[in-house]
Each structure stands twice: as structure tokens, then as C-alpha cells.
Amino acid sequence: MKLCAFADEASPRLDGQIEALRRNGISLLEIRGVDGRNIKDLTPDDAKEVKKRLDDAGIAVWSVGSPMGKHSLAEDFAPHFDDFCRVTELAHILGASRIRMFSFYPAPGAEPERTREEAFARLRRFVEATPEDVILCHENEKEIYGEGIEACLSIHREFSSLRAVFDPANFVQCGVDTLAAWDALAPYVDYMHIKDALTDGTVVPAGKGDGNVAELIRRYAAKGGEVLTLEPHLTDFVGLGGLERGGVETRVGKYAYATNDEAFDAAVSALKAILNM
């Protein structure tokens, strides 16, 4: 297995992220926050400088962990689509082969069929604008259209080029059995996010929750999967509030850490313990 990580959970600064990755022997980054800014807000020149700094440290960008699709269907799509087009340009500059994205928040009071139609119309724009050398990957996420098994299946059946990022904790937080989700979505899974949670929604280190993480990794490896991206969510890191609708909702529970670096290292250790079982 090749380990990757959202290193902005260790530090908002790129230098701190590089230090955390090297300290833990990880050479792949799913880039999301850079020096306090979301990846979508970087300029091409910013991205070139980030690429140089990562290259000098021996770290490659595996995926752009974009917020594309974490957007209400009630809002104007045009500015969001402009952001998506910029993200595809940044992915090329950074050498990323993948872009992580989502399938939109339903408009308040919208009928399910209308939500599906509008989400698909916007997803189609994303798919059509994605360069051929980049794989667009949909992540299951609470409260978006694609939060459950059937909705995720409908997305992948409609868009054959769109792959899946499988996030166990997100399924747990939506009340979805992760093994049932895997059985349904395995043919579409490109890679996994390693994040675990209890049924009450509390995020915990991998293997300590109800996500069946060890069994999912076994199944993922059996189908030829290679990359696991750590997304610990074990502390209130810079940018977390922007990832949760309505503000910070993630609960850490009994696993409390003094610093973001300590939480990040603990998450890496928990995953490595599973891989060494």
C-alpha cells in the first residue's frame, strides 16, 4: 500500500505539512489547504511555487482534494464552475492525476427527482470539463446528493468516467453500513479515504470505530487498490469549519491530542497498525 494524506490536518503551512509527511514516511499528498488558503484559491503561479517546494522535498501530489460540488443547488452555478475549471488547471500544474469532488447540497424543499436532475446537470458540466489525463473522483459525503448507496450508484451508472473515493466515516455518519456500501460500489472505487467514526458521529482513529476499516482495506487490496489517503479529522485544524455544512460539526470524543501534529501522527500510527495486522 502507498500512503497519502491530507497533511493540512497537521499544519496549515506547507512547510509544516512537508515536515509531517516526511516524519511519517509518506511521499504522497492529497492537497487541500496551502498556507491557510483552500486549494481552489491558488493562482497558477502559486501552484508552480508549491510544486517546486514539494518536488524539492520528494513529495508528489496524488490528488487535488477540492471542495467542488460542496455547493448548494440553490446557488448560482457559474462562479462555482469557474472555480472547477481553475482547479483542473491547478491539477495539471501540480502533477495531480486525480481531483476529488462532491455531488451538491439539495436546494431547501426541493423534490428528490428535481435534486437528482439538477445535480446530474452540474456533474455533467464537471465531467465534460475534466481533462483526459485527470480522473474525477466523487466522494460520498453527508447531506449531499450522493450520501447513500443508491444515490452514489446512480451517479456512477450515469457517468462512466467518474470514479469513487470511498470514505467509511462519512457512510457511518449517514447511518449506512460500510460493508454493504463497499459491496455495491467496489467496481467504481478508485481509492479510499481512511477516516473512521462511531455511530453517534464521533470521529476516531482508524480501526477504533464502526467503519470496518480493516476489512475494507483488505477488500480494497484484494481488488488491486494501492493508495490510501489519511483524512484523520481528529482535531479542529485550520479549515475544518469550511468542510462541514453549518460550521464545525466533527466530534473527537475520547481521543484528544495536544497538537495537530500529535493527532496526525496518531492517525498514521493507527493505519500502520492495521496494515501490519
Domain boundaries along the sequence of the chain = 2-275
Which long-range contacts link 152-156 to residues 24+ away (Cβ below 8 Å)?
Answer: 152/181, 152/184, 152/185, 152/188, 153/184, 153/185, 154/116, 155/103, 155/120, 155/123, 156/185, 156/188
Which strand (E) or helix (H) includes residue 276? none
Q: How far apart are CA 85 and CA 277, in angstroms?
A: 42
Radius of gyration, CA atoms only, the chain: 17
Predicted pLDDT of residue 31? 98
Q: Is 187 helix (H, G, I), strand (E, B) or coil?
A: helix
Q: Which position has the grid cell 460550521? A: 247
pLDDT tens column, 58-114: 999 999 999 999 999 999 999 999 999 999 999 999 999 999 999 999 999 999 999
Q: In 3D, which of 266, 187, 271 has the Cα closest to residue 229?
A: 271
Predicted pLDDT of residue 277? 82
Class of domain 2-275: alpha beta
% of the chain beyond a pLDDT of 90: 88
Return the DSSP state at 98.
Answer: E
Does the pLDDT value for residue 204 go beyond 60? yes
User: Which residues are within 8 A (CB) of 220 and not within 5 positions of it... i.e. 6 or more apart?
Assistant: 166, 189, 192, 228
Q: In 3D, which of 211, 213, 219, 215 has the Cα closest to residue 187?
A: 219
User: Which residues are within 8 A (CB) of 112 and not within 5 positions of it... i.e. 6 or more apart?
Assistant: none
Predicted pLDDT of residue 254? 63
Residue 115 vs residue 243, higher pLDDT: 115
Q: How far is CA 237 from the centre of its chain?
A: 15
Mean pLDDT of 195-213: 94
Contact in structure between 178 and 216 (CB atoms under 8 Å):
yes
Q: How far apart are CA 229 and CA 95, in angstroms?
A: 17
The residues facing 191 across adjacent strands are 165
Does the pLDDT value for residue 10 go beyond 90? yes
Q: Is 72 helix (H, G, I), strand (E, B) or coil?
A: strand
pLDDT bracket for residue 236 (50, 70, 90): low
Q: How far apart are CA 212 and CA 100, in angstroms?
A: 22
Contact in structure between 99 and 63 (CB atoms under 8 Å):
yes
Predicted pLDDT of residue 244? 59
Does the pLDDT value for residue 252 go beyond 80? no
pLDDT tens column, 25-36: 999 999 999 999
Q: Is 259 helix (H, G, I), strand (E, B) or coil?
A: coil
pLDDT bracket for residue 248 (50, 70, 90): very low
Predicted pLDDT of residue 242? 57
